[in-house]
A and B are shown apart, each in its own frame.
Chain A
Amino acid sequence: MKDLMRIKSLLSAEIESLLNQQVKKEAHSSAIYLSMASWCDRNGFDGSADFFFKQSNEEREHQLKIYKYILDMGGTAISPDINNIKIEFGTFREVFEDALDQEIAITQSFKNIVARCHKEQDYVTLEFLNWFLREQREEEYVARRALELFEVIGENGTGYWDIDKNIGNIKYSAE
């Protein structure tokens, strides 16, 4: 008897479902960063607004990368429904706290998929996910460093102005 399930798709139903959930999480992240960019722009933090616009684009690219992988492997990619995006933030610092929380949640989510891939011996998807694990090293580093600027520079006087000017200069080098 032919294995029609395997012929149709390389992905198991569980891995496909997890990847589709990740698509939704990346889309959610992209939308949240866009909302953060809007808040920063409205409150005069131009440097931070640019930073979050770029972050939003990156998350969108991640979303599409996973989306295309699901399709390429014969799965059904589901375009996510995104709602309940936070619009208002209490403080400038809160924006960056939320950004770090977001990246940590994404990293944990990828770890969960990787664990499932190990369990199912899906080394093809595992190899695909390695890129995202490397990417998360950078994402978390940048989000953590951004938040640390509030401690290093301080929030008094021209602190917010300095933080806003330096946000875009945070770079990660794995070497």
Chain B
Amino acid sequence: MLGRDRFDTTELIEVFVTAKGSIYQSDVENCLYLTFSGKTSRLSFQSLNDLKKIIDKVDLGHMCTLIEHADIEIILLKDNCFVLSGIEIIYLKEILQGAFTMFRLNHIITDCLDRLVIS
């Protein structure tokens, strides 16, 4: 985990931001910064993709019906550990879905530009 002061925000490109968190991209480092629940994590694209797959698979309905255990999901991802409540999973899911929509949009635009004939 990284504190906000550990990276230079001027070199970061906003990918997706909500009131609960954000994802920024660093083209210099080829990585992404996920700020959520008061902390910032530096993740590769692969790790962010893995996190999205894990979050998408979380059964929120099942979590809410647990009586004996707290509604907490612990996600271990390489160097990062996320301890999330049910509501945090909903917020994070929104951020990740938004970010991946932006990644796809960026890919479509880049692809179109790559296909242009340079005269």
Contact = CB atoms under 8 A, between A and B. Distances in A.
Interface stretch (B63-71, B80-88, B89-97, B100-108): B100-108
A5 to B, nearest CB: 5
B13 A4 contact: no
B103 A2 contact: no
Interface in B48-77: 49-50
A4 B111 CA distance: 12
A8 B45 contact: yes
Interface residues of A, number: 9
Interface string A101-139: 000000000000000000000000000000000000000
A4 B32 contact: yes
Contacts of A42: none
A1 interface: yes
A6 B46 CA distance: 11
Nearest to A2: B27
B45 A7 contact: yes
A3 interface: yes
Interface in A60-105: 76
Nearest to A1: B13
Contacts of B103: 3-5
B110 interface: yes
Interface in A1-35: 1-8
A8 B13 CA distance: 18
A5 B45 contact: yes
Contacts of A8: 45-46, 49
B110 A7 contact: no
B119 interface: no
A3 B30 contact: no
Contacts of A76: 46, 49-50
Nearest to B110: A3
Nearest to A74: B46
Given A3-B107, A4-B103, 13 more contacts: A1-B13, A1-B27, A1-B106, A2-B25, A3-B103, A3-B106, A4-B25, A6-B111, A7-B30, A7-B45, A8-B46, A8-B49, A76-B46
Interface of A: 1-8, 76
Interface of B: 13, 25, 27, 30, 32, 45-46, 49-50, 103-104, 106-107, 110-111
10 contacts: A1-B106, A2-B27, A3-B106, A4-B32, A4-B45, A4-B103, A5-B45, A5-B106, A7-B30, A76-B49
